[in-house]
Amino acid sequence: MKVVIDCDDAAIDLKKVIVGHLSAKGVEVTDLDYLGKKSGAYYPEIGFNLARTIKNGTFERGILICGTGLGMAIIANKVEGVYAGVCHDVFSAERLRKSNNAQVLTMGARVIGPELAKMVVDAWLVSEFQGGGSQPKVDQIRELERKSFHPEG
């Protein structure tokens, strides 16, 4: 699995922890380091950039970290076909994948500590979409998304 990660200035330290954790587990992780390329960038640009790499298929999963995780989730969900959610507990991280088939996990460095963040990431990465009763709901999300992005069609 190819994972991509990025963060804003509020989450640089937590991003380093997660990159190290994933690398130690043998997960192929790429840090987009948008801030390193564009100093002073705000989270909307950073999150949008990562979400577009998910949409174009370069990466299977993405992790975005800001102060709360909320802004990153909002912007990642603005990219058609990309689904993101903020999680600060293991159960929500599992459900984000198993029930919602989300490709992007967001977290808040001001909300979650490094050890719990590692557990949340691990739970999310090993979880897969279960389909079943969630399938019609995810299908409906995709249909409503299509209507939102393409109202004429």
Candidates 50, 66, 75, 104; catalytic one: 66
**What would the DSSP string read from start to end of 46-95?**
HHHHHHHHHHTTS-SEEEEEESSSHHHHHHHTTSTT--EEE-SSHHHHHH
Q: Are 147 and 106 in contact (CB under 8 A)?
A: no
Is there a catalytic annotation at residue 87?
no
Return the biggest CA–CA distance within the chain: 48
Active site residues: 66
